[in-house]
């Protein structure tokens, strides 16, 4: 009996220890989970795979196409009947002389045909289309990578916001507990006649306000957790224990160096440039309409009056050249359209680059501002803590009123929130600078050396 009890206790301990051993969610693990489950990543990956398949398809047009055709024909048309009789090699001069060729009997023909077409020259259209397909595939690959970076940035932002929301909830909860302690102290002093009951009422009103702030903070934390689950592609009601937020990644160099990095490494800009180059080739495609098209065609036919028969067989090899002489100005319009569309896209690329410069500049200034605010907030927090300590001591001595103590609590809470917000703003601005500059957040958060 004793042994069974001990074994049961051991099993409970092991089970409890296994549950407690579940590690908290790190920011790197959150990013990995988002890359695996976020629908945006899967969508971008599928689009990249589709464009890669299109690139392979375009290259396939360089190779010969081979088609197998089966045709059934039953006719009494004089010309067709005569031709099919020859093709089946059933023509007889004796029958031709005895029968009326103008009124032949109905004739059944099965034709099995294999045809091979090899393009020889397309005026540059085929090579341009292949190059376009390669460029579009490259653009999709870059956009897939950019989508991963966007999801990683959004996940890091959601993770940081959840950590901030929970810390804010903790700050407000502690402030509420301090207020509750002061209410009890005021009630004791009022019972002893040291302060009037109006002071107690002020404290209770303040406590009710603090309870409301705690509820608001709790709701905000729940929404922040749902936002993180959304980015990770999980059930929005899932709960996570978070690991401590790691220090923000380092930021060195000048603003211009970060702008230069963005123009060189932004994947969405690279994708836009690849699409621009693909668009430039459209003018070459349109120009091919003025040039001859040359192909070689080989065909072999089997004729019979029964399916899959081969009583009559024949083959042919031919070279075909086609030159467009007039299409109502369609080719000229196609060239003009391609030229203007390219010019339009070039202007969009220029605007895109200027927008990236602005994004990096904004993130840089936000980081500098957040750092300055954090230094100021830390100093203000230390001062507010000391002020509350002094006010609390004076209140206990009967030298200060409850309103003075509550004001000190309010100032401390505001100082704590300001420091908290500024500290997290430094982290968020740092990650935004990394993302806007094209620096890989995926590599930063998922590498073995990360944090």
Rounded to two decimals, the pTM is 0.81
Asked, for residue 440, whether it belongs to a domain, the answer is yes
CA–CA gap between residue 429 and residue 245 (Å, rounded): 15
**Are the C-beta atoms of residues 276 and 345 closer than 8 Å to each other?**
yes
**Are the C-beta atoms of residues 125 and 282 closer than 8 Å to each other?**
no
Asked, for residue 25, whether it belongs to a domain, the answer is no
Asked, for residue 120, whether it belongs to a domain, the answer is no
pLDDT reported for residue 10: 46
For 322, which DSSP code? E
Task: Examine the pLDDT at 333 and tell me if it is beyond 60.
Answer: yes
Identify the domain containing residue 271 by its residue range: 31-69+126-292+330-446
Helix (H) or strand (E) holding 82: helix 78-87
- 94 versus 48: the higher-pLDDT residue is 48
Asked, for residue 297, whether it belongs to a domain, the answer is no
How many Cα atoms within 13 Å fall on the side-chain side of residue 82?
10
pLDDT reported for residue 377: 87
**pLDDT digit string, tens, across residues 383-397:** 878 877 877 787 777
Q: Which residue has the tokens 């990995």?
A: 32
For 25, which DSSP code? B
pLDDT reported for residue 15: 45
CA–CA gap between residue 200 and residue 205 (Å, rounded): 9
Task: Examine the pLDDT at 123 and tell me if it is beyond 50.
Answer: yes
Asked, for residue 441, whether it belongs to a domain, the answer is yes
Count of structural domains within the chain? 1
Range ranked top by mean pLDDT from 11-25, 218-232, 238-252, 398-412: 218-232
Asked, for residue 5, whether it belongs to a domain, the answer is no
Asked, for residue 425, whether it belongs to a domain, the answer is yes
- CATH code for the domain in which residue 58 is found: 1.20.1600.10
252-290 burial: b if 16+ Cβ within 10 Å, else e: eeeeeebbebbeeebbbbbbbbbbbbbbbbbbbbbbbbe
- Which residue, 406, 420, 424, is CA-closest to 377? 420
Asked, for residue 400, whether it belongs to a domain, the answer is yes
- Which residue, 251, 253, 252, 244, is CA-closest to 451? 244
pLDDT reported for residue 354: 97
Return contacts of 255-260, CB within 8 angstroms, 24+ apart: 255/360, 255/361, 255/364, 258/360, 258/364, 258/433, 258/437, 259/356, 259/357, 259/360, 259/361, 259/437
**Poorest-pLDDT segment among 147-151, 220-224, 287-291, 298-302:** 287-291
Task: Examine the pLDDT at 252 and tell me if it is beyond 50.
Answer: yes
Task: Examine the pLDDT at 193 and tell me if it is beyond 70.
Answer: yes
**Are the C-beta atoms of residues 295 and 118 closer than 8 Å to each other?**
yes
């Amino acid at each position: 009996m004793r042994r069974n009890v001990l074994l049961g206790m051991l099993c409970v301990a092991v089970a409890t220890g296994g549950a407690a051993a579940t590690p908290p969610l790190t920011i790197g693990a959150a990013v990995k989970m988002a890359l695996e489950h976020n629908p945006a990543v899967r969508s971008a990956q599928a689009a990249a795979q589709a464009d890669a398949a299109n690139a392979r398809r375009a290259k396939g047009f360089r190779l010969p196409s081979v088609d197998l055709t089966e045709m059934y024909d039953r006719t009494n048309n004089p010309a067709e009947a005569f031709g099919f009789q020859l093709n089946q090699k059933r023509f007889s001069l004796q029958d031709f002389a005895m029968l009326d060729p103008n009124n032949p009997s109905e004739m059944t023909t099965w034709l099995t045909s294999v045809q091979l077409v090899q393009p020889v020259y397309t005026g540059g259209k085929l090579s341009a289309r292949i190059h376009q397909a390669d460029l579009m595939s490259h653009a999709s690959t870059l956009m897939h990578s950019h989508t991963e970076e966007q999801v990683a940035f959004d996940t890091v932002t959601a993770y940081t916001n959840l950590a901030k929301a929970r810390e804010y909830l903790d700050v407000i909860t502690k402030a509420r507990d301090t207020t509750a302690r002061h209410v009890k102290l005021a009630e004791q002093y009022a019972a002893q006649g040291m302060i009037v009951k109006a002071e107690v009422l002020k404290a209770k009103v303040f406590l009710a306000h603090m309870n409301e702030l705690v509820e608001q903070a709790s709701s905000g934390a729940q929404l922040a957790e749902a936002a993180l689950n959304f980015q990770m592609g999980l059930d929005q009601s899932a709960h996570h224990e978070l690991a401590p937020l790691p220090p923000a990644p380092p930021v060195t160099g000048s603003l211009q160096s970060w702008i230069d990095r963005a123009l060189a490494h932004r994947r969405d800009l690279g994708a836009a440039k690849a699409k621009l180059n693909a668009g430039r080739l459209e003018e070459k495609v349109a120009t091919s309409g003025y040039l001859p098209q040359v192909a070689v065609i080989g065909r072999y036919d089997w004729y019979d009056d029964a399916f899959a028969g081969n009583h009559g067989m024949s083959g042919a090899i031919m070279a075909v050249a086609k030159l467009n002489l007039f299409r109502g100005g369609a080719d000229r319009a196609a060239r003009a359209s391609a030229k203007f569309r390219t010019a339009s896209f070039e202007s969009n690329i220029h605007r895109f680059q200027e927008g990236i410069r602005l994004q990096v500049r904004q993130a840089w200034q936000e980081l500098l501002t957040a750092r300055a605010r954090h230094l100021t907030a830390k100093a203000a927090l230390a001062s507010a803590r000391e002020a509350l300590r002094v006010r609390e001591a004076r209140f206990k001595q009967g030298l200060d009123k409850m309103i003075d103590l509550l004001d000190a609590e309010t100032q401390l809470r505001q100082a704590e929130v300001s420091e908290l917000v500024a500290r997290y703003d430094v982290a968020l601005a740092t990650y935004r600078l990394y993302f806007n500059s094209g620096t890989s957040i995926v590599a930063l958060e998922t590498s073995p050396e990360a944090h």
